[in-house]
Homo-oligomer: A and B are copies of this chain.
């Protein structure tokens, strides 16, 4: 279970999130581990059912065009934290996404996203993309 696997799990999360894919989102969250979720400005959601329902509500309300930028992995054995920027229209947020291994896969146990004044460092390829 490498750093790349973690990044792929994080990418699946943003694919489900941005694609309003409730089934994929539900599959991403751990089934046995303790889970929590803090949507921007919102309270702590603390049960799998409650968390999955919150995503279904977001998707039912039209979903969110979200783009994950500059994900970084902090790997500690069986636990992996990913921090990344979330671009949502003109809003920029920072997210902490926490994963643990369950049945040989990285599953989400925590998502905390909140507004930030920080901005991603301009990577060379990003600068290049902006020009073309």
Which of A9-17, A19-27, A74-82 is near enough to bind chain B? A74-82
Contacts of A46 in B (CB 8 A): 72, 74
* Cα distance, A114 to B114, chains bound together (Å): 6
Q: Are the CB atoms of A83 and B117 closer together than 8 Å? A: no
From B72, B77, B115, give the contact of A41 (CB < 8 A). B115
* Cα distance, A52 to B76, chains bound together (Å): 19
- A93-123: CB near B (< 8 Å → 1, else 0) gives 0101010100000000110101111100000
Q: What's the tally of chain A residues with a CB closer than 8 Å to chain B?
A: 31
The reply to whether the CB of A36 lies closer than 8 angstroms to some CB of chain B is yes
Contacts of A112 in B (CB 8 A): 94, 96, 112, 114
Which of A94, A96, A117, A118 gathers most chain B CB within 10 Å? Answer: A96
- A40-51: CB near B (< 8 Å → 1, else 0) gives 011110100000
The reply to whether the CB of A66 lies closer than 8 angstroms to some CB of chain B is no
* Cα distance, A91 to B56, chains bound together (Å): 30
Nearest 6 A/B pairs, CB to CB: A114-B114, A43-B118, A34-B74, A79-B79, A41-B117, A96-B112
Other 7 A-B pairs with CB < 8 A, given A34-B75, A43-B94: A38-B94, A41-B117, A42-B117, A42-B118, A81-B98, A112-B112, A114-B114
